[in-house]
C-alpha cells in the first residue's frame, strides 16, 4: 500500500495545476462536482484541510493528482491535458463532447497506424 502524501504537498500540487490550467475555483468546483465553497476552503492558506476529505479527493481526481505516493493518476501527456483544459468550458455536456472528440481522434489514429 502506498503511503499518504502530506496534505501540504497535495495542495501545493493542486495550486500549481490550477495556475498551469488557468482554471477558476468555479471551474474546478464544476469539474470536480463539489461545492465552490469547498474549493475555496481547500485553496485557502489558513484552513484546517482535514475536514474536506471528500472534496479534496474529488478535486484531486478531477486534476488527476494522486493523493497517495508521488505519481500522477494517469499517463496523459501534459500537452494533451493542457489543450483539453483550455478548450473545456467546465460543463458536463462540454466534457462529454470533448470525450467523444478525443475518442474519435484516437480511433482515427488507430486506423491510420493499422493501414500502414
Same domain (yes/no): 49, 87? no
Within the chain, what is the greatest distance between any pair of CA atoms? 57
**How far, in Å, CA of 56 to CA of 14, rounded?**
10
Grid cell for residue 82:
493542457
CATH of residue 68's domain is: 1.10.260.40
Same domain (yes/no): 63, 87? no
pTM, full prediction: 0.55
Q: Which domain holds residue 101?
A: 76-116
Same domain (yes/no): 40, 84? no
For the cut 70, the answer to whether the pLDDT of residue 71 exceeds it is no
> pLDDT tens digits for 2-37?
556 677 788 888 988 998 889 999 999 999 999 999
Same domain (yes/no): 32, 67? yes
Same domain (yes/no): 47, 10? yes
How many domains, the chain? 2
Question: pLDDT grade, residue 83 (50/70/90)?
Answer: confident
Amino acid at each position: 500500500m502506498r503511503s499518504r502524501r502530506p496534505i501540504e504537498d497535495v495542495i501545493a500540487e493542486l495550486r500549481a495545476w490550477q495556475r498551469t490550467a488557468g482554471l477558476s475555483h468555479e471551474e474546478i468546483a464544476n469539474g470536480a462536482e463539489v461545492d465552490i465553497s469547498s474549493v475555496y476552503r481547500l485553496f485557502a492558506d489558513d484552513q484546517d484541510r482535514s475536514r474536506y476529505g471528500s472534496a479534496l479527493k474529488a478535486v484531486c481526481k478531477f486534476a488527476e493528482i494522486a493523493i497517495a505516493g508521488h505519481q500522477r493518476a494517469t499517463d496523459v501527456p501534459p500537452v494533451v491535458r493542457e489543450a483539453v483544459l483550455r478548450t473545456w468550458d467546465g460543463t458536463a455536456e462540454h466534457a462529454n463532447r470533448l470525450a467523444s472528440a478525443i475518442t474519435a481522434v484516437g480511433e482515427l489514429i488507430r486506423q491510420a497506424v493499422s493501414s500502414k
